[in-house]
Structure 1
Amino acid sequence: MRKLNMLLILSALSLLLLASGPAAAELIEEASEIPYQINASDRIVIGTVSGIDINYDHTIFKITVEEWLYNPLPTETIKVRTETGKYVWTEDQAEFTQNESVLLMLRDEEPDEQLFSVSVGFPGKHPTSDRDAVIEELKIQGKWQDENRIENTETASEQPADSNSPSDTKSTPFTGILWVVMAVIGAFVCTGKKIP
């Protein structure tokens, strides 16, 4: 009976640790507002999803750039990484479909490699119909300039990070297979059993 109880406890603990969705989906209320998203973004772009590369724990989306709205780069395509992959799903990440037209609020990951992430998770992905509202807010914040347009990308320069930007978190703690293994070992240590 005691072995059955221990097995049930370990199974429940493993399932709890593998369920990373609720822990990863903690977005603040302001994240849905365009002014907050602009302050949390290094760049803003309009483009079309032209490729999808699904990996074990992340996905890389190739975006063909149509227009830069803020802090442009001289490139025709960029890559956007999400922390959702073939075997890992993170609730607050933006989702894309092939040939989808999108307006994206981006955080720099490796700008020299044209690699970005969507700032503030899924709220940072917009339909292209939000273009005018985003441009209006860029003007209000004094961040809109004519050279932000794709035609003049050679005049673009790096913008300093905004002091109002939220901290950039790369991962959610206590999720993944490593923590499950650690929990199982901890359970054996707590019960005084020897690990086989």
Structure 2
Amino acid sequence: MIRSLLCVVLLCLSACAGPNPNPGERTVDIAWERSDYNTIFRILRPAAERGEPWAQLRMGVAYELGVGVEKDIPTAIKWYSLAAAQEAEGNWANGLLVGAVGKAGYFNRNSDALVARYQLANIYLSGDSVSPDARKALELARYVSEKSEGGDIFYCCESSGGRYITQQQIATTLAAAQAAQ
């Protein structure tokens, strides 16, 4: 009886929080919401340097926005480009746990890669600290639009309900890139 009750409680808790196969990701996201930059970069930088896409994407965001670091668009582009190159085949790469296996730190990497490409498209459109490049922006925006197949792209932070790049945002970036040609 006690064992059964314990199993039910554990199942309920895991359904609420769920296991995250990217070690450190949830801790970084929660620290981000609290502006705890010491915790963020203590975990984030080594994971990004090991090549973990979730961490490379967040490094790009940090440098693009100047969150916890000095704003540095060329460095943001570097990290976004690394994350964007991380696409792979299979359920693990697409963020599906059931029946999927893969390397810790690389779960849902296709979503991270698409978000990184979306961010790059917007940087190249704006010319924020780099020369505007409408051709690159259009190439990236088209790719994201096609790969997202009309859906929103999960970004991060399941602890706070999640964040998404919406299909409307993708369409707006694509239209701006087409107009810039």
Q: TM-score with structure 2 length normalisation?
A: 0.28
Which structure: greater helix fraction? 2
- Larger radius of gyration, structure 1 or 2? 1
TM-score normalised by structure 1 residue count: 0.26
